[in-house]
Homo-oligomer: A and B are copies of this chain.
């Protein structure tokens, strides 16, 4: 068993093309012995966003703090704390902070999807 405070897990910039003002903490991953999926916590600064992209694996997302939208292709869904998002494999998606405080969310991925291979440079800020 491993127990840790998420705030003490190292935070690193998201360096993927198309990401603006995002950081990520890998809370649980293969390096902890997790056999199937990984739990990451993202923090997106006001006006920041994650890449608009798609990939052949799913996301399971839980919004912890802040306000934003998730894009499903061109369609926007508003997001607030306590909201849950399931992004199916191959769906085009993007998370954007539309509020004045950091948007924080958990985003879980299967281990097979931890190294994205299909990133679009599309970035319609």
Contacts and interface: CB of A to CB of B under 8 A. Distances in A.
Contacts of A62: 6, 27, 39, 62, 106
Interface of A is mostly: strand
Interface residues of A, number: 39
Contact of A1 (B2, B36, B64, B91): B91
Contacts of A91: 1
Interface string A30-52: 00111111010000000000000
Given A60-B28, A106-B62, A108-B60, A4 B37 contact: no
A58 B86 contact: no
A29 to B, nearest CB: 9
Contacts of A4: 83-84
